[in-house]
Structure formats: C-alpha cells, structure tokens
Structure 1
Amino acid sequence: MRGLFLLFAGLSTTAFAHDAPSGWQYPTSCCSNLDCRQVAQTAVSERPQGFIIRATGEVLPYADRRVRISPDGEYHWCSAEGKAYGKTICLFVPPRAY
C-alpha cells in the first residue's frame, strides 16, 4: 500500500506532455501532446517584420495570433507534429520590458 501511495505522490509532481518544463500547461489549441517544446533563445530572432523561427525561416508578425506571452519567460515553440521543420502552431515569447 505504501508503495502505491509513493507512486501516485511521484506522479503528482511530474510534468505531463501538455506541460512546459517549468510546469505551466500548454493550451490545447497549441499542443496535442507532442507539438510544443521549450527552445533556446537563439532559436528565435526578432526583426522589424516580426519573430523569425530559425529552423524554418518562418516569419510571425508581432500581431500574429500564434504569438503568445510565455508564462515562464522562456521561448516555447509549437510546430506541426513537433517536427523541427514543421509549420508553427504557436510561439510563446518572453514578455517585453517597458
């Protein structure tokens, strides 16, 4: 019985597929258990026309509905089927300082 309790206690602190490494949950509109992941700051660049996804060269204008504020201040990229060359579903970016 004690072992079963420890198993369930351990599961309660584990991040699930829809969860970012820091624990917040990716919206289902962006992720279907494999599409989203945290990426290095160097994976995304900012240009006057918007955010550039380095892996694909895709440009997301700043006002694009796929661009969202990252709850943990890190970049997170959700691409079709989680592929490195997939089309962007959502991009979570750190909030801008004022």
Structure 2
Amino acid sequence: MGAVEKRRMASLAGVIATAAALEDVSVFAHSANSGWTYPPACCDGDPSTGECGSIPSVTVTPQPDGYVIILRPGDHRKVTHKNRYFVPYASVSPSGDGNFHICLHPNEEHENCFFAPAEAM
C-alpha cells in the first residue's frame, strides 16, 4: 500500500469514526426532570452535574429586547452566588415541558441555552 492509499484509508477511518460519534450524540445529552431531553449542544450529558436544569419562573423577567434572568444558589444546581444573565428573544428556544430551563456552560457565569414556555415566547 502506497502513501496515497494510506492517507485515504486514514481519512476514511476518520470519517467513519465521526459519523459513528454523531449517530450516538444523544448519549451526551441529559433529560429534564419532566423527561424531555435537552439538545446535545447545550449540555455534557451528566444528569447529576449537568449544565441544564429548570429554574423558577420568578427568576425570569421579560424586557423589550429579551429576558433578564437572576439566579441565586438553590435556583439551579450549578449556581453558587447571585448571577444575572440576559438572553435576547432571538436566542430563546421553546421549552419541552412548559417550564423555564437554563444551561450554564462552561461555568455558572455563562448561559449556553435558555428555554421558555411557548406562552412566554
């Protein structure tokens, strides 16, 4: 086998491995307590320490251009101190269970995904 064939085989193996990983991407997502699954891009899949979780509706305030979310310890499993987030309406996804949810990643200072009930959008 020549150098060109070896490169093609290595490239093909990489494509196959990537396709297999994408097929099983749901393994890395985790579910809300209600049972709907957060999109894989929002979380790393660990249900006990995952970035996503429901939050109390009283922590969410609609503004003219988006939502202001103020979380305190106890509102979300990753929150250790008071945090303020702003999510433009264009970045809000519909919630799968009628509750507000937020995914904090890579740490509690940054929201990665935010979900709102359909009637609040």
What are structure 1's unaligned runs of at least 5 residues?
Answer: 1-16
Amino acid at match of 2:115: F
**For this pair of structures, how many residues does the alignment match?**
77
TM-score w.r.t. structure 2 length? Answer: 0.58
Tell me which protein shows more helix as a share of its residues.
2
Task: State the partner residue of 1:57.
Answer: 84
TM-score w.r.t. structure 1 length? Answer: 0.70
What are structure 2's unaligned runs of at least 5 residues?
Answer: 1-28, 72-82
Q: Provide runs of 4+ in structure 1 moved above 3 Å.
A: none
Instruction: Map 1:23-38 onto structure 2 (within 5 A).
Output: 23-32=35-44, 33=46, 34-38=50-54
RCO (CA 8 Å, sep 6+): is it higher in 1 or 2? 1
Instruction: Map 1:1-98 onto structure 2 (within 5 A).
Output: 18-32=30-44, 33=46, 34-55=50-71, 56-64=83-91, 67-81=92-106, 83=108, 86-96=109-119
1:49 touches 1:59 (CA, 8 Å); kept in 2? no
1:52 touches 1:59 (CA, 8 Å); kept in 2? yes
**RMSD, aligned α-carbons:** 1.8
Structure with the greater alpha carbon radius of gyration: 2
What is the rounded CA distance, in whole Å, between the counterparts of 2:57 and 2:90 in structure 1?
Answer: 20
